[in-house]
Amino acid sequence: MAGDDLQKRAATAIVWLLLLGMPFWLPAIGGYTELGARVVVLGLAAMSLNFLLGYTGVLSFGHAAYFGLGAYGAGMTIRYLVPSTSLSIIVGTLAGTIAAALIGPMIIRLRGVYFAMVTIAFGQTFYFIAFRWNTVTGGDDGLIGWTRQPLDFGFAKIDILHDSVAFYYLVLVLFAVAVGCMAWLLRSPFGRTLLAIRENERRARFLGIPVDQHIWISWVISCCFVSLAGALYALLNNFVDPRALYWSQSGDFVIMAVLGGMRSFWGPLLGAAIFVVLQDYLSSQTQNWMSFVGLFFVLVVLFFPRGVLGIIRRRAAA
Amino acid sequence: MSLLRVENVSKHFGSLVAVNNISMVVEPGELRAVIGPNGAGKTTFFNLISGFFPPTSGRIVFNGEDITALKPARRVWRGMARTFQITEVFPELPVRENLRIAVEVAAGNRLNPWLSRDADGEVRARIVELMDMGGLADKADRLVGELAHGDQRATEIMMALALNPRLLLLDEPTAGMGDQETYDITQLIRKLHREEKLAIVLIEHDMRVVFHLADRIMVLAEGEPLAEGTPREIGANEAVQAAYLGKAAA
Ligand SMILES: Nc1ncnc2c1ncn2[C@@H]1O[C@H](COP(=O)(O)OP(=O)(O)O)[C@@H](O)[C@H]1O
Ligand SMILES: [Mg+2]
């Protein structure tokens, strides 16, 4: 019991040290800082999805919708409203969260594959809007003609546009806040009701937990942080296009979560890292990089249902 | 005022009438047994009381309030807790966590992102109390799914009890148990009834348990009420003997 706890703390400390030092050690092994930022942003998206998938037991196949809303929200704020990075992040996150809160009541009564399918359907709706509404979203070409703006604190300015290390740390700070919130919630009485729903929905209901209401809250929290990830993703690329909303993007998040291990808090981050690195490396070698990722995914799911982190844990325990 | 009034409830599944026009009144502190052969509609009757599904017709009044249309969680909040014929627990969580979830919900903390030190202390104390009462203290950190059947059952009952119910519905609590386990669970139920003054409705196949525990017995057969009375009256009832007790004895 106590040893378990110690092990968990040590693992958490190592994760944070690796993340904090990324701009220093990643270039040394042949990576680059933007790649690190990409891992952290997509890791946040996958961990947010996993709040719902791994800790509430609800599979969404439409999280790209909120990721994309966050991305477009951020991009359009800078492009059309005000040249402010912080405001763009707030607007993007709010856009996705509000959409999720409104769509939630229509879907939370569905379970299993029905829930997954309806989330896809909503996601595709947003995709087609972004795709068709050329004049505002830039359609298929994406939203261009804007960049992330320097952070202005009044007393100091930080040029996150040209200084990719500074931008990385902005991303990491927001990642830390989001992930900290999720970890906190999962250890709370509310978090335990989510676990209860995942473990046995019938028992949860007959303990006096209004299951639909709790799933709605979990869904909104999950979508809120995936929208934040989307906003950061747009800022990272200085660009958004409809693929951020496409169902295959939702699928990528699920792959990352399952690949890394959806029963562990950090698993999806590891999954995202593997995914991003494979993508970066393989896409320069072959057109069909997705087939390799897919193959890897299938192997992990078949032989290690608890994901890559599950394998590592078993090694550590043995 | 009666604690529970079930008024002429029926439940149809397509053309099957699983429960046909049953009424029952339970007084505070009463221990009522519901017996009847397999398929008599006992579990369906429980499902109607606890809100698993709505009745086709009829009315359910709990503590003076019409709860016929209320969802299960709301019935729990008003003081009704149940267990299931096939144990429903959180098998992959330890006994302590199973109870913690129930205790926290009962204390109104289900939406709380945070528990004060005092509140957490109270929760812990309550968990210990429940584990002691259920004979689970030495299994606190074991996963419920790994426990013996009887201990899983005891966990489920203690989870229901954690909700501080005024009425406890137990669906075949001793089903599939050996003699010792049956004895332990019977003692536990008796204690809840005698010491906690809890009203209990109990579906049970084991006639020793029923006649040992119940204040009153209701007999169902093919979805219909066949008889109701004290254990002595039911034991002497010829229709019951013909329909049920005779069969069980044979
Ligand atoms: N959800 C359901 N759908 C259809 N038929 C059901 C359902 N639940 C119970 N039944 C039927 O209702 C009858 C009574 O079942 P039940 O209440 O489980 O009996 P008991 O608990 O007395 O053994 C049975 O014929 C059973 O098959
Ligand atoms: Mg039954």
What is the spatial distance between Cα B237 and Cα B217, in angstroms, rounded to a whole number? 12
Q: What is the pLDDT of residues B177-188, one digit of tens each?
A: 888 989 999 999
Instruction: Tell me the pairing of strands B16-26 and B4-13.
Output: antiparallel
- Give residue A266's pLDDT: 95
Residues B3 and B75 in one domain: yes
Residue B112: is its pLDDT beyond 80? yes
Residue bearing the CA closest to ligand 1, atom 11: B18
Residue A99: is its pLDDT beyond 70? yes
Long-range contacts of B129-133 (CB under 8 A, 24+ apart): B130/B99, B130/B103, B130/B158, B130/B161, B130/B162, B131/B95, B131/B96, B131/B99, B131/B158, B133/B158, B133/B161, B133/B188, B133/B191
Q: What is the pLDDT of residues A170-220, one digit of tens each?
A: 999 999 999 999 999 999 999 999 999 999 999 999 999 999 999 999 999
A162: confidence class by pLDDT, cuts 50, 70, 90:
confident
Q: Using the atom order of ligand 1, give the atom closest to the CA of residue B85.
A: 21
Please give the residue that has the higher pLDDT: either A138 or A289.
A138
- Give residue B244's pLDDT: 66
Please give the residue that has the higher pLDDT: either A309 or A20.
A20
Answer yes or no: is the ipTM higher than 0.85: yes
- Give residue A317's pLDDT: 66
Identify the weakest region by mean pLDDT among A86-90, A151-155, B154-158, B199-203: A151-155
Report the residue of A4, A206, A209, A218 to disrupt the B interface, i.e. the one with the largest count of B CBs within 10 Å.
Answer: A206
Give the residue from B145, B164, B183 where a domain finishes.
B164
B249: confidence class by pLDDT, cuts 50, 70, 90:
very low
Residues B36 and B7 in one domain: yes
Q: What is the pLDDT of residues B43-90, one digit of tens each?
A: 999 999 999 999 999 999 999 999 999 999 999 999 999 999 999 999
Q: Is the minimum distance from the CB of B37 to ligand 1 under 6 angstroms?
A: no
Domain of B100, in residue numbers: 88-164
Identify the weakest region by mean pLDDT among A137-151, A291-305, B171-185: A291-305
Average pLDDT, chain B: 93
Residues B173 and B250 in one domain: yes
- Give residue A8's pLDDT: 86
Residues B18 and B64 in one domain: yes
Contacts with B111 from chain A: Cβ below 8 Å: 189-190, 217
Q: What is the pLDDT of residues A270-283, one digit of tens each?
A: 999 999 988 888 87
Residue B245: is its pLDDT beyond 60? no
The H-or-E segment that residue A21 falls in is helix A2-28
- Give residue A46's pLDDT: 98
Residues B196 and B229 in one domain: yes
Residues B94 and B144 in one domain: yes
* B:220-239 residues touching chain A, CB 8 A cutoff: none
Q: What is the pLDDT of residues B209-232, one digit of tens each?
A: 898 899 999 999 999 999 999 999
Residue B250: is its pLDDT beyond 60? no
Alpha-carbon distance B39 to nearest alpha carbon in chain A (angstroms): 22
Q: How confident is the model over A131-143, as a mean pLDDT?
A: 88
Residues B133 and B199 in one domain: no
- Give residue A226's pLDDT: 98
- Give residue B113's pLDDT: 94
Please give the residue that has the higher pLDDT: either A33 or A286.
A33
Q: How many other CB atoms are there within 10 angstroms of residue B247's CB atom?
A: 10
Residue identified by tokens 């994309």 is A68
- Give residue B242's pLDDT: 79
Give the residue from B164, B187, B208 where a domain finishes.
B164
Q: What is the pLDDT of residues A11-27, one digit of tens each?
A: 899 999 999 999 999 99
Cβ separation of B113 and A185 shorter than 8 Å? yes
What is the spatial distance between Cα B81 and Cα B72, in angstroms, rounded to a whole number? 9
Q: How many CA atoms lie within 13 A of B56 on its CB side?
A: 15
B247: confidence class by pLDDT, cuts 50, 70, 90:
low
Tell me, what DSSP letter sits at residue A261? -
Tally of domains within chain B: 2
Residues B72 and B190 in one domain: yes
The domain A2-317 is placed in CATH, from the list 2.60.120, 2.30.110, 1.10.3470, 2.10.260, at: 1.10.3470
Residue A281 Cα to ligand 2 middle (Å): 59
- Give residue B177's pLDDT: 86
Instruction: Please report, for chain A, the start and end positions of each structural domain, with discontinuous segments joined by +.
Output: 2-317
What is the spatial distance between Cα B128 and Cα A34, in angstroms, rounded to a whole number? 52
What is the spatial distance between Cα A160 and Cα A168, in angstroms, rounded to a whole number? 8
Please give the residue that has the higher pLDDT: either B184 or A294.
B184
A286: confidence class by pLDDT, cuts 50, 70, 90:
confident
Interface of A with B (CB under 8 A): 1, 184-185, 188-190, 192-193, 195-196, 199-200, 202-211, 214, 217
Residue A318: is its pLDDT beyond 90? no
Residues B158 and B171 in one domain: no
Alpha-carbon distance A80 to nearest alpha carbon in chain B (angstroms): 37
What is the spatial distance between Cα B98 and Cα B191, in angstroms, rounded to a whole number? 22
Q: What per-residue string of b and e applies to B116-153 under the rule 16 or more CB within 10 Å gives b?
A: eeebeeebeebbeebbebbbbeebeeebbeebeebbbb
Please give the residue that has the higher pLDDT: either A287 or B109.
B109
Q: Which residues surround ligand 2, an ion (CB under 5 A)?
A: B 42-43, 85
Structure token pair of residue B150: 């009887």
Give the residue from B99, B130, B164 where a domain finishes.
B164
Q: Are A64 and A250 in contact (CB under 8 A)?
A: yes
